[in-house]
């Protein structure tokens, strides 16, 4: 698998800015410095099936303490990742780390590698307290073998020490690997908290703390300079079975507390899409020579070998059933995409050669373990008498798109010394008798063109052979010419969105506390807002397995994620709408018809619409987006309009009754 280069910042930033805590001990108020920081993630969001991608997770210790102070220096550094859909994306256990003295430092002061521990049945509480995820933890371990080296302000500054002083930055490079199935996965990154909960604080013996994740060694100000171990207060553990949710620590007591939020964290959404440009190896050979010769004459054959595919070819060879293996040079060992090589080989006609002398050349080449071959034949009449001969050449474009019309050009020539009659041209793709003439004079050539529209069902490459035939008496002469056209792979479209329960009604999707909803039926429609897209654009695209239209249970096990992946999209502009059908007993707070979504099947696109918002939206004057929150419907909600109408009618009746009483008196 290849590693994709870093190209843009793709994830949010969460900053924990806790800098100072009050500590009362021995009746003397004191101040305890504590590290704080931020995590950010750099990587692309979209992977092709079978690809892998490097993800760089960066944390900076933004504590305000001076870099020369032991206080606010992080020890036993550990970063963790929760993989919410490992059926689509997994993370390689091996990772590398680098520590820089600042954000702008050009080179790291310390480097190394580490291997994650994997819990394949962990619970990530902001996502769910019932569904399991993959949880990875990368720990750098102890800074050194001697405790004094990283608790002493004079010894802790060796360049290779695995600690994070105030202002320093650590970068952890991991690899996200696509599992080969179209779909989405979300990765959460955070500082991993220790599970240790001491019965007595303050803690001065490092050996009492296990496991040692994200600790710092702080000293109290004032006359009492006793040093103590503390947990990094913006660490986080995603699930604690004793508490039933995630936990962090109260820094002054080191008592675990219930929480659903990590203080320093960031996330990345990975979308896997089908491979858009599969390898299409192709080789082509043409062969030409004289139409007649005599015994002992040396004739010259001309060969042209072309790489007509989209990948380089290796071990390229040319053999001929009369001439044998063509030596190198001129036969090349490799051919780049689009490269052609032309060479000639001579043959002296002997009395034992058949008449006509017919021979076939075969070109072959390899891409990985796949071989491609192509043949070209030529015929030479060995005679000094009447010589009937016909020749045809054929030409077309090297590359086309599905739906594009090809123009083939043919040239038919009488290459003999007698006229030909009943001349016809047949083609394996275009049909029989695509051109005909009653006679073709000696030396006469006729050029004509024929169109062909490429279909999605055509083989790739599209190879066809034209055969010209003519008669001299009862002798038929024929000639063939082949053409190979690479059909550029069609495009793919990706239309994705999230449907969620907007618990607080603010129109914003909080991925930690507002769950996705996967009971909604989502249908992709054409521009008429009624016809399913695959019927409106019949034959224009297909859905890859396990896709379907409509989607009824969410996308690929990630709750609330609905994603249509369209493959083999024929070039053109497409407009789509998305219709939601809610479960029985629920209502939507915003429109359930979404669109228009316009995509263009071209190199410039756009071909992806990944950020559709299927949840609640802000009220006017904001332009409504798409979808809506789903709420259970109870009887009071259903009866509320009728109760309001009844109250209005009763109030009106009382006013009329009072007016009549006043008129009577």
pTM above 0.85, yes or no: no
At a CB cut-off of 8 Å and minimum separation 6, what does 95 contact?
A: 113, 114, 115, 116, 138, 172, 173, 174, 175
The residue out of 224, 250, 273 marking a domain boundary is 273
Torsional sign, CA 344, 349, 352, 354: positive
Task: Give the pLDDT confidence score for residue 471 in this predicted structure.
Answer: 93
Task: Give the pLDDT confidence score for residue 242 in this predicted structure.
Answer: 86
pLDDT along the chain (665 residues), means of 10: 28 26 28 65 69 88 71 86 91 96 92 95 89 94 64 66 88 90 86 84 78 76 64 84 86 82 77 73 90 78 90 90 73 82 88 88 90 92 78 91 88 87 95 93 92 87 94 91 86 86 70 76 94 92 85 71 86 92 71 89 87 53 38 36 39 44 48
The residue out of 257, 273, 289 marking a domain boundary is 273
Residues 198-242: tens digit of each pLDDT: 887 777 777 788 788 888 777 655 555 566 777 887 788 899 888
What long-range pairs does 317-320 form, CB within 8 A, spacing at least 24? 317/363, 317/364, 317/365, 318/285, 318/361, 318/362, 318/363, 318/364, 319/361, 319/362, 319/364, 320/345, 320/359, 320/360, 320/361, 320/362
CA distance 524 to 337: 39
DSSP state of 458: S
H/E element, 452: strand 445-453
Task: Give the pLDDT confidence score for residue 532 in this predicted structure.
Answer: 97
Same domain, 33 and 110: yes
Same domain, 504 and 364: no
Containing domain of residue 519, as a range?
A: 491-633
Q: The domain spanning residue 67 has which CATH number?
A: 2.60.40.680
CB atoms within 10 A of CB 582: 18
Task: Give the pLDDT confidence score for residue 391 in this predicted structure.
Answer: 96
* Closest among 311, 300, 373, 367 to 336, alpha carbons compared: 311
Same domain, 144 and 234: yes
Structural Rg of the chain based on CA atoms:
38
Is residue 59 within 8 Å of residue 170, measured between CB atoms?
yes
Is the N-terminal amide bond of 606 cis, ω within 30° of 0? yes
Is residue 162 within 8 Å of residue 143, measured between CB atoms?
yes
Residues 2-15: tens digit of each pLDDT: 332 222 222 322 22
Task: Give the pLDDT confidence score for residue 157 in this predicted structure.
Answer: 64
Average pLDDT value for the chain: 78
DSSP state of 192: B
* Closest among 82, 253, 58, 41 to 168, alpha carbons compared: 58
Q: Please state the length of the chain.
A: 665
Same domain, 13 and 130: yes
Task: Give the pLDDT confidence score for residue 426 in this predicted structure.
Answer: 97
Would you state the structure tokens that stand for residue 394, as one six-digit string?
């054929």
SS3 content of the chain, % helix, strand, coil (to 5): 5, 50, 45
Same domain, 76 and 151: yes
* Closest among 527, 522, 523 to 574, alpha carbons compared: 527
DSSP assignment of 308-366, as one string? -SSS-EEEEEEEETTTEEPPTTTS-SEE-TT-EEEEEEEEE--TTS-SSEEEEEEEEEE
Torsional sign, CA 232, 233, 234, 238: positive
Same domain, 111 and 95: yes
* Closest among 597, 594, 598, 596 to 627, alpha carbons compared: 594
Same domain, 541 and 571: yes
Same domain, 147 and 25: yes
Task: Give the pLDDT confidence score for residue 146 in this predicted structure.
Answer: 57
Task: Give the pLDDT confidence score for residue 482 in this predicted structure.
Answer: 92
- Return the bridge partners of 449, or none: 409
Same domain, 356 and 426: no
CB atoms within 10 A of CB 457: 7
The residue out of 369, 385, 401 marking a domain boundary is 385
Same domain, 255 and 294: no
Task: Give the pLDDT confidence score for residue 120 in this predicted structure.
Answer: 95
Q: Give the angle 299-303-309 at the CA atoms, nearest 5°.
A: 170
Would you state the structure tokens that stand for residue 391, as one six-digit string?
């020749």
Q: The domain spanning residue 416 has which CATH number?
A: 2.60.40.10
Same domain, 53 and 185: yes
**How many structural domains is the chain composed of?**
5
DSSP state of 161: -
Task: Give the pLDDT confidence score for residue 555 in this predicted structure.
Answer: 61
Is residue 125 within 8 Å of residue 245, measured between CB atoms?
yes
* Closest among 144, 351, 177, 403 to 272, alpha carbons compared: 177
Same domain, 178 and 37: yes
Torsions phi, psi for 282 (to 5 deg): -160, 140
CA distance 396 to 391: 17
CA distance 82 to 187: 6
Task: Give the pLDDT confidence score for residue 407 in this predicted structure.
Answer: 95
3 state DSSP class of 165: coil
């Amino acid at each position: 698998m290849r590693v994709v280069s870093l190209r843009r910042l793709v994830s949010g930033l969460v900053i924990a800015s806790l800098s100072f805590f009050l500590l009362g001990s021995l009746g003397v108020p004191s101040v305890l410095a504590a590290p704080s920081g931020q995590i950010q993630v750099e990587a692309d969001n979209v992977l092709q099936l079978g690809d892998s991608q490097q993800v760089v997770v960066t944390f900076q210790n933004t504590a305000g303490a001076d870099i020369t102070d032991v206080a606010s220096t992080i020890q036993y550094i550990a970063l963790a990742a929760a993989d919410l859909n490992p059926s689509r994306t997994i993370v390689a256990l091996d990772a590398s780390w680098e520590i820089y003295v600042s954000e702008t430092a050009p080179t790291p002061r310390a480097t190394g590698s580490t291997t994650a521990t994997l819990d394949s049945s962990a619970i990530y509480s902001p996502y769910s307290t019932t569904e399991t995820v993959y949880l990875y933890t990368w720990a750098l371990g102890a800074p050194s073998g001697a405790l004094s080296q990283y608790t002493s302000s004079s010894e802790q500054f060796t360049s290779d020490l695995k600690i994070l002083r105030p202002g320093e930055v650590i970068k952890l490079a991991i690899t996200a690997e696509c599992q080969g199935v179209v779909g989405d996965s979300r990765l959460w990154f955070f500082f991993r908290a220790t599970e240790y909960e001491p019965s007595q604080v303050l803690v001065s013996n490092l050996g009492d703390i296990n496991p040692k994740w994200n600790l710092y060694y702080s000293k109290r100000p004032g006359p009492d300079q006793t040093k103590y171990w503390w947990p990094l207060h913006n660490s986080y553990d995603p699930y604690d079975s004793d508490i039933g949710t995630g936990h962090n620590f109260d820094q002054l007591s080191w008592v675990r507390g219930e929480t659903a939020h990590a203080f320093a964290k960031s996330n990345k959404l990975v979308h896997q899409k089908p491979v858009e440009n599969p390898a299409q190896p192709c080789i082509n050979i043409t062969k030409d020579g004289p139409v007649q010769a005599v015994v002992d004459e040396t004739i010259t054959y001309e060969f042209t070998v072309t790489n007509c595919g989209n990948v380089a070819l290796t071990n390229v060879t040319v053999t001929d059933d009369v001439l044998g293996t063509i030596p190198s040079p001129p036969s090349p060992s490799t051919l780049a995409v689009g490269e052609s090589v032309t060479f000639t080989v001579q043959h002296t006609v002997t009395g034992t050669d058949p008449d006509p002398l017919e021979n076939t050349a075969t070109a072959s080449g390899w891409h990985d373990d796949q071989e491609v071959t192509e043949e070209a034949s030529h015929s030479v009449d060995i005679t000094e008498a009447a010589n009937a001969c016909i020749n045809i050449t054929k030409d077309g474009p090297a590359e086309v798109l599905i739906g594009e019309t090809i123009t083939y050009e043919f040239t038919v020539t009488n290459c003999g010394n007698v006229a030909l009659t009943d001349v016809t041209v047949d083609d394996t793709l275009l049909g029989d008798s695509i051109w005909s003439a009653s006679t073709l004079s000696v030396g006469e050539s006729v050029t004509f063109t024929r169109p062909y529209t490429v279909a999605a069902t055509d083989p790739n490459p599209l190879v066809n052979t034209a055969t010209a035939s003519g008669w001299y008496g009862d002798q038929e002469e024929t000639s063939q010419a082949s053409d190979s056209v690479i059909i550029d792979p069609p495009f793919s479209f990706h239309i994705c969105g999230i449907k969620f329960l907007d618990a607080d009604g603010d129109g914003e999707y909080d991925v930690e506390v507002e769950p996705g909803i996967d009971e909604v039926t989502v249908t992709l429609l054409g521009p008429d807002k009624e016809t399913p897209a695959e019927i409106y654009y019949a034959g224009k695209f297909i859905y890859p397995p396990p896709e379907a239209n409509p989607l009824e249970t969410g996308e690929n096990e990630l709750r609330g994620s609905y994603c249509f992946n369209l493959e083999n999209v024929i070039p053109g502009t497409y407009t789509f709408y998305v219709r939601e059908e809610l479960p029985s007993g629920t209502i939507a707070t915003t429109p359930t018809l979404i669109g228009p979504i316009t995509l263009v099947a071209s190199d410039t696109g756009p071909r992806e619409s990944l950020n559709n918002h299927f949840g609640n939206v802000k009220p006017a004057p904001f332009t409504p987006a798409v979808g809506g929150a789903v709420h259970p419907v109870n009887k009071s909600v259903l009866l509320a309009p009728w109760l309001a109408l009844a109250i209005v009618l009763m109030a009106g009746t009382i006013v009329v009754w009072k007016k009549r009483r006043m008129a009577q008196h």
